[in-house]
């Protein structure tokens, strides 16, 4: 039985080879709502990335729409892998808003109350880096009229919006 | 909007382009001639095979044994290679693709390091280290000519060269033998397009075996020998040929393979053979091996071996699957006169999903694809469930989705399975028959196939959740930084799936719907398929055929979508209104007076007004000029006007008095990709009109252009791309006047669901299941739509007749007819189609209503109550 868990866990090497028709990217859109002093964030992930990640962590077969632990585990995963850092180094509190599925895509919505200039924040985005070597996480941020494009690739950790 | 003086010649001003300076040399309409290969006698300028088109051929006779104890392949093959090229060959290359799994393969060496991050050493890395022992290298044990004499051969990673004992002249054939063996990869550990899956519960394996025999590399007119090593992403570049393959397995295995089984009488149980015969004329898929029989087989122990013999004609590859766990279902189907056996093989773990959908999806695929390309050319089409997520081979494909262990499955899994079966069976057309070079160009098979998959999915059920094809889904990728053009070699693609699947599929959908129209596109696409069936097209052959057969120069389209990373973002920068100068002094002078009076008074002038003036003190200072009213109409003015009218003919007169509005719309191409301009003009009277302008509007200036719209009605708003058909990435600049477009986050948080997705979370507004409490809906309802903080009042005039609701929606600008309406479980759904598409879904609670309203531009909330 333990072998089964191990087999499920092993997705790393699959990334080194070709993985059927899969590819590994995510897209996070961040908009600052100046009126509500709120960072509004939508995260677009592929189900074929989220599934193995959760199975790896929960050590069982997971159906994203049916397994009860999915939401709580996703929240834990987000807390570890999507981190906003203040200039002083402390982290913002990321609040879960909800999620929805659209064909092979999982949209996760979170928000971060923040009163200040968001371009002074830094971001850590490490989705799936422990699973897929060629993972690329794209971040598009819009703070008022200012736009920022960040790309996180395996090995990257924290990046400032304004460099 | 200001009324300005314009002259009649404004009528003759249509597309108005700003002068192009020398420092702005961009020409997005430049012809592709310099970028495409020069046409020759092998490939014509029209995109068809030339009069001297040739391709080489390889026929195979293979004996292979599947070792179920050690998970190994032992094979021996005889290849007959025919040199149809005009060249003399002194050596030949073969592909040893399974060397991808050699311990020291380039794939292993060139893969970047994973990031172990700060979260500890992942479980997967532990297993990776443990799996280091596996070496999938192919052992070539013998290479001989037809007389048994050893041939000199040299391995170059995933390729092998054989030096020919004598030069192989044009038209000649060379027959030789190879023996080999290798250890099969555990697909669940090592991934790949082939491999085995182990089932710990019953101790059995499913094998999906491909890239398993040394295959002839392709020698082509455009590249000579295909020399890209197999790194894993770029799939295969292969020659057609006939195959006879004898597969030896434990005698309790069920085997499925490319081609037709030749010795069913020897390898099938008699009842299986009988059912297989019955299935040829079955009306729905029927079981050859039942679930119970497959279950019983799981605890079987083999008592010996069996050899299954398959033959396949004119295929470019051969794959097979084998297991004692397989359920087998089949249905004969007539595809435009070709009798095809559609069959699926899957373990009990695949049910109840597989028995319901797999074979049905195969048949659906053959029907739809055959209509858009050509009649399915092979006698069988099969779908196998095993470890591989989705991979295609001639007549057989491997598909991964399975339900949960308790037999339930999500919508995700269901549509995942149907989509992957359609996609992989669809590959029988691209590239199994239209034999494009996959190692060079992933998009030529994946892009065209994903496009056709979209067509097939939309014929499976209404609003099928296709993940690729709709223009609006591609915009995030199109604006992303990290990408290369579609025209890039397969192993160098960034964002592989978007680049080679989604973007070309979307581009073709736009070409079909927006640029060519379905009739011209479908003819050209079918012509491409017909021309290149069983031949090897290059990208230029596709581009040229689509232009040649549609009679349309599309170089700008290929240049933008296939050769660049530009995205679509057109913007309405400004709209200016001009009206006709009637020359009628009674009209124009009065207007001029109004305009003069409307000019703001400067601050000084305002303050100076009150000061006493000298000419008031001494009226004798006044003369003609003090009292002259320049806006007063004089007799001379009227005479001049009459003379002017007399000089006009009737047509000119009617134009002059036509009360036309001239709107000059200033457009900007923000994204860089030139596209047709599609306007919806919304008039003050509530009506609207769609204006479609070809992309050539951008030909003189690729970035800024103004378009004149002449109407007899006053416009309230102009909307760009109202049907979301051009993949415009930024909708906020598509409206004049600008409209508020809520972000996906805001749409979700306010409880509307992002794009019709299936949702959960704290923000999920409870759907109430109240009823109408017996009250009829008939009557007037006053509602307000929340337009980003501003409330827009509307009146619903409803007539309820059972579940059916009819009536109108009244707004400040006019009235719209409800095109369909229904009441179900207390939820009212009404739709309008003209002049705008609107869907209102509201919960009725007594005499109040609240819910969502959706327009092409987005959705928002509304609420209200019955007013009488």
Tally of domains in chain A: 1
Interface contact B133, partner A, CB < 8 A = no
Bridge pairing between strands A25-33 and A38-46: antiparallel
pLDDT for residue B89:
98
Cross-chain residue pair B467–A133, CB shorter than 8 Å:
no
Interface contact B766, partner A, CB < 8 A = no
Residue of chain B whose Cα is closest to the Cα of A156: B115
Name which of B245, B189, B218 is nearest B97 in CA terms. B218
Q: Yes or no: say if B682 and B717 are a contact pair by the CB < 8 Å rule.
A: yes
Helix (H) or strand (E) holding B335: strand B327-335
- The residue that leads in pLDDT, B576 or A4, is B576
Rounded mean pLDDT of A71-80? 93
Helix ranges restricted to H, B176-255? 187-190
What does the radius of gyration of chain B's CA atoms come to, in whole angstroms?
A: 35
pLDDT for residue B771:
32
pLDDT for residue B18:
41
Instruction: Identify all chain A residues contacting B411, using CB atoms and an 8 Å cutoff.
Output: 65, 101
Residue A41 lies in a domain: yes
**Residue A49 gets which letter from DSSP?**
H
Residue A7 lies in a domain: no
Instruction: Identify all chain B residues contacting A31, using CB atoms and an 8 Å cutoff.
Output: 743, 745
Cross-chain CB nearest to A100 (options B128, B188, B754): B754
Q: Which two tokens mark B699?
A: 């030909």
Kindly write down the DSSP assignment for every residue of B775-840, as one continuous string: ----EEEEEEEEETTEEEEEEEEEEEETTEEEEEEEETTEEEE-SEEEEETTEEEEEE-SSS-EEE
pLDDT for residue B352:
96
Residue A11 lies in a domain: no
Packed helices A2-9 and A47-58: angle between N→C axes, nearest 10 degrees: 140
Instruction: Identify all chain A residues contacting B500, using CB atoms and an 8 Å cutoff.
Output: none
pLDDT for residue B756:
44
Strands (E), B159-279: 159-168, 173-183, 195-199, 204-209, 215-216, 219-220, 224-225, 241-250, 254-257, 260-261
Which domain does A48 fall in, by range? 24-160
Residue A5 lies in a domain: no
Residue A44 lies in a domain: yes
Name which of B575, B736, B578 is nearest B662 in CA terms. B578
Rounded-to-integer distance, Cα B155 and Cα B99, Å: 10
Residue of chain B whose Cα is closest to the Cα of A66: B410
Residue A36: exposed, middle, or buried by beta-carbon count in 10 A (0-12, 13-18, 19+)? Answer: exposed
How far apart are the CA of A155 and the nearest CA of chain B, in angstroms?
5
Name which of B233, B692, B263, B236 is nearest B491 in CA terms. B233
Residue A3 lies in a domain: no
Residue A131 lies in a domain: yes
pLDDT for residue B489:
87
Helix (H) or strand (E) holding A9: helix A2-9
Rounded-to-integer distance, Cα B351 and Cα B205, Å: 17
With a cut of 70, list the residues of chain B below it in pLDDT. 1-25, 108-132, 751-775, 787-791, 812-813, 857-858, 868
Cross-chain CB nearest to A64 (options B124, B232, B412): B412
pLDDT for residue B558:
98
pLDDT in tens, B309-352: 999 999 999 999 999 999 999 999 999 999 999 999 999 999 99
Interface contact B759, partner A, CB < 8 A = yes
Chain B, 194 to 213: residues with Cβ < 8 Å from chain A are 198, 200
Interface contact B603, partner A, CB < 8 A = no
Packed helices B442-458 and B411-426: angle between N→C axes, nearest 10 degrees: 130
Cross-chain residue pair B190–A14, CB shorter than 8 Å:
yes
Rounded-to-integer distance, Cα B116 and Cα B602, Å: 70
Residue B721, phi-psi category: left (phi > 0), alpha (psi -120 to 50), beta (remainder): left
Helix ranges restricted to H, B264-394? 264-267, 270-279, 291-298, 353-372
Confidence band, pLDDT 50/70/90 cuts, at residue A4: very low
Q: Yes or no: say if A83 and A99 are a contact pair by the CB < 8 Å rule.
A: no
Q: Report the complex ipTM.
A: 0.76
Q: Which two tokens mark B294?
A: 């497959």
pLDDT for residue B770:
28
How far apart are the CA of B252 and the nearest CA of chain A, in angstroms?
25
How far apart are the CA of B753 and the nearest CA of chain A, in angstroms?
8
With b for 16 or more beta-carbon neighbours within 10 A and e for fewer, the B845-862 pattern comes to eeeebbbbbbeebbbbbb
pLDDT in tens, B443-485: 999 999 999 999 999 999 999 988 888 898 888 888 877 789 9
B735, HSE (Cβ side, Cα atoms, 13 Å)? 13
Residue of chain A whose Cα is closest to the Cα of B744: A42
Helix (H) or strand (E) holding A105: strand A105-113
Residue A18 lies in a domain: no
Rounded-to-integer distance, Cα B694 and Cα A147, Å: 31
């Amino acid at each position: 039985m333990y072998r089964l868990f191990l087999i499920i866990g092993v997705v790393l090497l699959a990334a080194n080879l070709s993985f059927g028709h899969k590819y590994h990217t995510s897209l996070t859109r961040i908009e600052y709502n100046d009126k509500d002093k709120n960072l509004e964030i939508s995260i677009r992930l592929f189900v074929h990335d989220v599934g193995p990640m959760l199975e790896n962590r929960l050590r069982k077969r997971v159906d994203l729409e049916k397994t009860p632990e999915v939401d709580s585990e996703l929240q834990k995963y987000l807390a570890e892998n999507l981190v906003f850092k203040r200039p002083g180094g402390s982290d913002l509190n990321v609040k879960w808003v909800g999620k929805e599925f659209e064909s092979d895509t999982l949209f996760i919505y979170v928000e971060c109350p923040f009163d200040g200039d968001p371009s002074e924040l830094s971001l850590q985005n490490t989705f799936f880096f422990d699973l897929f070597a060629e993972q690329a996480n794209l971040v598009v941020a819009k703070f008022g009229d200012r736009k920022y494009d960040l790309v996180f690739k395996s090995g990257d950790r924290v990046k400032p919006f304004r460099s | 909007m200001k009324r300005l003086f314009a002259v009649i010649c404004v009528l003759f001003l249509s597309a108005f382009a700003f002068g192009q300076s020398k420092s702005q040399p961009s020409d997005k309409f430049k012809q592709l001639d310099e970028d495409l290969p020069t046409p020759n006698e092998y490939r014509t300028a029209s995109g068809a095979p030339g009069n001297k088109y040739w391709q080489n051929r390889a026929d195979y006779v293979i004996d292979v044994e599947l070792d179920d104890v050690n998970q190994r392949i032992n094979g021996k093959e005889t290849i007959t290679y025919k040199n149809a090229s005009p060249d003399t060959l002194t050596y030949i290359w073969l592909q040893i693709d399974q060397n991808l799994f050699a311990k020291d393969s380039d794939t292993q060496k060139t893969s970047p390091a994973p990031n172990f991050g700060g979260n500890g050493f992942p479980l997967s890395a532990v297993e990776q280290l443990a799996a280091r022992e596996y070496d999938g290298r192919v052992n070539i044990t013998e290479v001989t000519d037809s007389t048994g004499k050893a041939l000199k051969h040299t391995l170059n990673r995933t390729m092998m060269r054989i030096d020919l004992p004598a030069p192989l002249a044009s038209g000649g054939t060379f027959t030789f033998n190879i023996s080999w063996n290798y250890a099969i990869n555990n697909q669940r550990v090592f991934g790949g397009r082939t491999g085995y899956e182990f089932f710990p519960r019953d101790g059995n394996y499913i094998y999906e075996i491909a890239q398993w025999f040394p295959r002839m590399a392709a020698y082509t007119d455009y590249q000579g020998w295909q020399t890209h090593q197999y790194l894993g992403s770029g799939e295969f570049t292969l020659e057609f040929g006939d195959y006879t393959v004898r597969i030896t397995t434990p005698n309790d295995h069920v085997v499925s393979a490319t081609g037709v089984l030749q010795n069913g009488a020897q390898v099938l149980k008699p009842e299986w053979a009988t059912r297989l015969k019955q299935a040829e004329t079955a009306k729905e898929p029927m079981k050859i091996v039942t679930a119970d029989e497959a279950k019983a087989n799981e605890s079987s122990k083999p008592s010996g071996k069996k050899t299954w013999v398959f033959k396949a004609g004119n295929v470019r590859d051969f794959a097979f699957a084998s297991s004692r766990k397989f359920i087998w279902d089949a249905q004969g189907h007539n595809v435009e006169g070709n009798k095809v056996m559609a069959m699926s093989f899957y373990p009990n773990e695949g049910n109840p999903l597989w028995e319901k959908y797999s074979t049905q999806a195969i048949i659906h695929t053959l029907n739809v694809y055959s209509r858009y390309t050509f009649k399915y050319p092979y006698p069988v089409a099969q779908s196998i469930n095993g470890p591989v997520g989705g991979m295609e081979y001639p007549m057989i494909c491997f598909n991964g989705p399975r339900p949960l262990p308790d037999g339930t499955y999500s919508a995700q899994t269901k549509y995942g399975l149907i989509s992957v079966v359609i996609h992989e069976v669809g590959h029988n057309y691209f590239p199994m028959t239209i034999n494009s070079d996959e190692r060079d160009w992933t998009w030529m098979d994946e892009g065209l196939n994903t496009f056709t998959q979209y067509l097939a999915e939309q014929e499976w059920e209404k609003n099928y959740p296709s993940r690729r094809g709709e223009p609006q889904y591609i915009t995030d990728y199109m604006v992303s930084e990290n990408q290369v053009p579609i025209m890039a070699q397969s192993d160098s693609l960034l964002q592989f799936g978007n680049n080679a699947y989604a973007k070309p599929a979307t581009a073709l959908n736009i070409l079909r719907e927006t640029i060519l129209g379905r009739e011209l596109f479908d003819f050209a696409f079918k012509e491409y398929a017909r021309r290149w069936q069983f031949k090897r097209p290059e990208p230029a052959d596709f581009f040229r055929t689509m232009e040649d057969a549609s009679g349309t120069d599309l170089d700008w389209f290929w240049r933008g979508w296939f050769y660049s990373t530009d995205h679509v973002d057109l913007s309405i920068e400004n709209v200016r209104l001009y009206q006709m100068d009637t020359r009628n002094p009674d009209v124009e002078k009065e207007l001029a007076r109004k305009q003069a009076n409307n000019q703001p008074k400067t601050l000084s002038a305002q303050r100076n007004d009150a000061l006493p003036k000298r000419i008031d003190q001494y009226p004798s200072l006044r003369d003609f000029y003090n009292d002259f009213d320049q806006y007063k109409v004089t007799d001379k003015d009227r005479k001049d006007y009459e003379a002017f009218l007399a000089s006009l003919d009737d047509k000119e007169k009617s134009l002059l008095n036509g009360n036309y509005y001239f709107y000059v719309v200033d457009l900007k191409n923000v994204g860089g990709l030139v596209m047709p301009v599609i306007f919806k003009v919304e008039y003050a009277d509530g009506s609207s009109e769609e204006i479609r302008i070809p992309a050539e509007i951008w030909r003189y200036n690729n970035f800024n252009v103004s378009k004149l719209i002449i109407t007899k009605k006053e416009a309230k708003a102009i909307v760009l791309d109202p049907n979301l058909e051009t993949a415009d990435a930024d909708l906020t600049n598509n409206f004049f006047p600008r409209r508020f477009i809520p972000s996906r986050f805001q749409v979700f948080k306010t409880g509307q669901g992002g794009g019709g997705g299936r949702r959960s979370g704290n923000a999920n507004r409870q759907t109430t299941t109240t009823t109408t409490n017996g009250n009829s809906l008939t009557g007037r309802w006053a509602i307000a739509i929340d337009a980003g903080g501003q409330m827009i009042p509307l009146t619903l005039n409803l007539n309820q007749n059972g579940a059916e609701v009819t009536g109108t929606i009244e707004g400040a600008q006019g009235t719209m007819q409800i095109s369909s309406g229904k009441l179900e479980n207390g939820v009212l759904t009404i739709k309008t189609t003209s002049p705008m598409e609107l869907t209102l879904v509201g919960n009725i609670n007594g005499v109040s209503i609240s819910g969502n309203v959706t327009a092409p531009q987005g959705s928002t909330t509304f609420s209200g109550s019955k007013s009488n």
